Amino acid sequence: MTTQKIYNFMGLRKIAAGLSIALLLISIASLAINGLKFGLDFTGGSLIEVGFEQEPDLNGLRDKLQSAGYDDAVVQTFGSPVDILIRMGVAHDPKLGDQVLQTLQSGEAQELTLRRNEYVGAQVGEELREQGGLGMLLALFMVMVYVAFRFQLKFSVGAVTALAHDVLIVLGVFSVLQLDFDLTVLAALLAVIGYSLNDTIVVSDRIRENFRKLRKSDSVEIMNVSLSQTLGRTLVTSLTTLLVLMALAIFGGEMIHGFAIALLIGVCVGTYSSIYVAANALIMLGICKEDLMPPEKPEGDEVDEMP
């Protein structure tokens, strides 16, 4: 009937499930043990960015700050070796930026410029963390309702499982590598939800169609057919998205680096999960032809739901 090559995706489903579970366990374990390295947006504190004309000696800067009484200051380069980022624990003082600049300027031949000076209260961070988490839960719930309504409850379980899988693994990677988790990364995480959802829905859509169209009722085979048919699209879309994300990661500057990294990981995991997690969940839930037959329409008819 079709010349489409069918790959035996589901042949590997047990291995894939094992891999997913292993990754999830590592992520959860790392989140429990290491936690996330929350950025300034969440912890509160002061952040000062200073521009140098020539590359400074980082250790020298640290010593200078230490002797001036800023014991907890973290000094690192930001993007280029002449841009220095200084982070310190809570200190509510608008003059801090100028004071630090003065401290660094002393004994320095070159002219330094204060590029950024932020004070962020920790209380806000806590609230945002709660709100961000709450937003994510609400988003997941709404998606579940929509998918259950448009498809079928089993599909919505599959989609949400895939989403939770992707979000947890991205968080896990950030936890294992101890990358800074700030608000832009949170935004990226939410974008991962959007992307992964997009992918999963496209695959689910084809699965639904094939359950109704194909005579076969072996769900594993239908998964294989559906995944093979959508494979081209899945790879092309992931590839174009990855292309722009790489442009963003390489050329976008330090301030959105975390954002780009989180999305890069998210898109890779999301592509994998749309193939293995969602379809796997459907098989485990025992999806069958009867689940998807619209009762009011005659059998064998091609169902095209134009909204």
229 binds other proteins (CB under 8 A): yes
Q: How many CB atoms lie within 10 A of CB 78?
A: 20
Asked whether the beta carbons of 159 and 204 are under 8 A apart, the reply is: yes
Binding residue (CB under 8 A) for other proteins from 6, 90, 177, 293:
90
State both tokens at 252. 């976008």
As a 3-state breakdown, the chain gives helix, strand, coil percent values, each rounded to 5, of 65, 10, 25
DSSP summary character for residue 277 = H
148 binds other proteins (CB under 8 A): no
215 binds other proteins (CB under 8 A): no
Which of these segments, 12-20, 59-67, 117-125, 173-181, binds other proteins (CB under 8 A)? 117-125
197 binds other proteins (CB under 8 A): yes
Radius of gyration for the chain, computed over Cα atoms and rounded to the nearest angstrom:
25
Instruction: Pick the closer one to other proteins by CB: 10 or 207.
Output: 207
262 binds other proteins (CB under 8 A): no
Binding residue (CB under 8 A) for other proteins from 54, 69, 95, 296:
95
Strands 74-78 and 80-88: antiparallel
205 binds other proteins (CB under 8 A): yes
174 binds other proteins (CB under 8 A): no
94 binds other proteins (CB under 8 A): yes
Phi-psi region of 79 (alpha: psi -120 to 50; beta: other; left: phi over 0): left
CB of 108 to other proteins, least distance (A): 19
| DSSP output for 176-220 | HTT-EE-HHHHHHHHHHHHHHHHHHHHHHHHHHHHHHH-S---HH
115 binds other proteins (CB under 8 A): yes
31 binds other proteins (CB under 8 A): no
> How many residues contact other proteins, by CB under 8 A?
85
251 binds other proteins (CB under 8 A): yes
Binding residue (CB under 8 A) for other proteins from 31, 221, 252, 289:
252
